[in-house]
Amino acid sequence: MPLLSADPAAFPVDPPADTTDPAIVAAHDWAAFSALTEMTDHWARPGWSDGSRAYYWMLTFPDDQPLKDLARHCQESLAPLGLDPVPLDALHITLADIGSPDTITPDQLDSLAQESEPLLPAAFSLRATPLTGSRGAVRLSLAPWTPLLRLHRALSEAGATVALPPSNSTCRLPFAPQ
């Protein structure tokens, strides 16, 4: 059973043919990005106003100096385009939204953290492959996707156990039904 299925709301709509091969993932990401005719402002979220806040599941890389060096090089090369660079100490992968402070209580967040821990997969490595983008961001491709998909599934299962709405993957990795 594949971990992914096509999703018109996702980017890219169709998953790569192989979620484990970095070359296939990178080529797939680039082909999808190259087909775009325009990009949107990453920060202009539908329904959000100034000061909107939300909780998200993210992977961060505070101690990965080679990744910071690569990001710095890419940001310097892209500076003439006037893009908003992510601070190097805030490089991240957004995995899923949890909810807003208006809809999620501190007790639910605590329960979510407790329920998540035993479901998390073992540590894994990712490779930041060539520069690419999406509808709202210039980014690096990441591979393999498979451990990210497993992590997303675990986080979604934990959310369901504490009665949170299903998590919509903000990195747009929709799961096929089992």
Residue 3 confidence (pLDDT) above 70: no
Q: Where are the alpha helices (DSSP H) in 98-143?
A: 106-116
Check pLDDT > 60 for residue 176. no
* Span 51-106, pLDDT tens digits: 889 899 999 999 999 999 999 999 999 999 998 898 999 999 988 889 889 889 99
Instruction: Report which secondary-structure segment, H or E, holds 147.
Output: helix 146-161
> Any idea where the domains of the chain sit in the sequence?
1-33+101-178
Which helix (H) or strand (E) segment is 129 a member of?
A: strand 127-133
pLDDT in tens, 109-164: 999 999 999 988 899 999 997 889 888 889 999 999 889 888 988 898 898 888 88
Residue type at 72 in one-letter notation:
R
Interatomic CA distance for residues 141 and 143, integer angstroms: 7
Angle at which helices 146-161 and 106-116 pack, to 10 degrees?
Answer: 130
